[in-house]
Amino acid sequence: MTDQYAVIGNPISHTKSPFIHGSFASTTAQDLVYTAIEGPLDGFAAAVDAFRAAGGQGMNITAPFKLDAFRYATELTERARRAGAVNAMKFVGERAYADNFDGVGLVRDITHNLGCALQGQRVLLLGAGGAARGALLPFLEQNPAQLVIANRTLATAQAMTEGTSATVCNYGDLAGQTFDIVVNATSASLRAELPPVPASVFAQARLAYELAYGKGLTPFLRLAHNAGVAQRADGVGMLAEQAAEAFAWWRGVRPDTAVVIAQLTIPLV
C-alpha cells in the first residue's frame, strides 16, 4: 500500500515540498505519495489528527505551525526541544515523534554544497526567531571561532543562547565588527526589506547566506554584493537538504539533493 506523507502550513500554495519529496521518492524507488495541506489557523491539531486517521505516516510543518507541532508532539529530539519548534513529525501508533531539521539542512548546504567550512570561522547570524533557534546547535557543533546572534530585542537572543558559547548583540553593536560568514535568518527579505545590518560586517566575508529562497537578489544579498562578497546564496539548498534529512528519517534512505537544487535554483540577480 502506498504510504502517505504531507506538508502542512497556511498559506501552502507556494510550497515546493511535494515536488521535492516526489523527486526523492522517484530516485530512491520509494512507494509514497506526498501532498500539501492548508491547515486552519486555529485547527492544526484537528488537521493532523485527520491526516493520521486516514493513514498518514509523516508530515513536514511550515509556517505558521512549527510551534503548534512542538506542542502536539509526544516525543521531541533535543534538537527540536532546543529550537522550541518542529518542522517534521512521524507517527507510530499513538506517538508523534518530532524533530527540527532546518539547522542541519542549513549547515549541510553551507559546508557540503557551497564548500564553505564553518569550523574556525567568525559567523554572524541575524535574527533570533524560529529559523535562528533551529540553526543554533548545528552551527555550534561545527566549532566556529565565534558565533554572534544579532537581534532587535536583546533579551530574546539571550534566552535563545543561554547555556551555549554563542554571544549576542543588538544591531547597533555590529559597527566595526567583521565576519567570515553572515546568515540572514530574519523575515525582512520576505517583505523586501533590509535587516538593520551595517555593510561593514561584510568587509572580510566569504559568504552571505539568505534563508529566504526564490526571491532573487534580496536587499540583504544586494548589500553583500555591493560590499564585495564573492559568494552569495539563498535558502533553496537548505530547503532541499532539510527535506532530505526528513525523508531519510522517515524512509531509512537519504536521497541525493543535487538535481532538486539545480531545478529549483534561480539566478540571484
Helix (H) or strand (E) segment spanning residue 26: helix 17-28
Q: Please report, as a single letter, which amino acid is at residue 51.
A: F
Which residue among the candidates 16, 66, 90, 215 is catalytic per the annotation?
A: 66
Q: What is the grid cell recorded at 145?
A: 571561532
The secondary element (H helix, E strand) that includes residue 156 is: helix 154-161
Place of cell 549547515: 107
Q: How far apart are CA 119 and CA 105, in angstroms?
A: 16
Rounded CA-CA distance 210/235 in Å is 6
Q: Is residue 66 annotated as part of the catalytic site, yes or no?
A: yes
Between the two ends of the chain, the Cα-to-Cα distance in Å is: 45
The residue behind cell 529549483 is 264
b/e 91-121 (16+ beta carbons within 10 angstroms → b): beeeebbbbbbbbbbbbbbbeebbebebeeb
Q: Helices then strands (H, E): number in the chain?
A: 10, 12
Tell me, what amino acid is at 261?
I
Catalytic residue set? 66
